[in-house]
Amino acid sequence: FDAAKHDSRVAGDHEDSQAYQAAVLRTISERLRADGVPAVAFALRDTDSTGMGVFAQDGTAKASTETLARSFAPLQAFLADPTPGTSEVIVANDTPANHNLAVEWSAGEESWSFDADVDAQGRWRGGSVTVPGEAEGVSILLRVNDHEIENQYDI
């Protein structure tokens, strides 16, 4: 653990540190999923009182635990560029089934929906999302059969 590097990125308590860790892990894990890059997770638990694990030394879940679970859900939607402006939607399907799904998004006063077909173990890219500059967040909702899967971004 490099305390100097940590302190240059995070000014505050452990909650600020965990929020920063969750944001970094989300960016990396979503890019890996979007591009279909195989990933292996290891060293998930801190070995000391401070560390980079997603679980504390005592096994308590940190903020990034939920981030990784959501990012690596078998079926999930991501924004290619979660910033104001236009972004495409990426749907990662790591299930053994093809899916026909409805994609709904909302950002500020803007919203839209479209249908997508994603192959088993595949990726689907498309569906332009326009994030207004004044939007504080974006919500993407996948509807497949009787399930809903949501991913939210703070802008």
In 3D space, the residue among 51, 28, 50 whose CA is nearest the CA of residue 41 turns out to be 28
Residue 1: its pLDDT value, please? 62
Amino acid identity of residue 145, one-letter, is: N
User: What does the pLDDT look like over 77-129, one tens digit per residue?
Assistant: 999 999 899 999 999 999 999 999 999 999 999 999 999 999 999 999 988 89
pTM over 0.85: no
In 3D space, the residue among 55, 58, 70, 54 whose CA is nearest the CA of residue 21 turns out to be 54
Task: Cite the beta strand spans of 14-121 per DSSP E.
Answer: 75-79, 85-93, 99-107, 110-118
For the chain, domains (ranges, CATH) are: 3-71 (no CATH), 75-154 (2.60.40.10)
- Distances in Å between the Cα of 21 and the Cα atoms of 29, 55, 100, 120, 141 are 12, 12, 34, 31, 25
Residue 127: its pLDDT value, please? 84
pLDDT band at 138 (very low <50, low <70, confident <90, very high): very high
Cα–Cα dist 102/115, whole Å: 4
- Distances in Å between the Cα of 155 and the Cα atoms of 33, 38, 72, 126, 149 are 21, 28, 21, 20, 20
Average pLDDT over residues 17-24: 85
pLDDT band at 50 (very low <50, low <70, confident <90, very high): confident
Residue 49 pLDDT exceeds 80: no
The side-by-side arrangement of strands in the sheet containing 110-118 is 110-118, 99-107, 137-144, 147-154
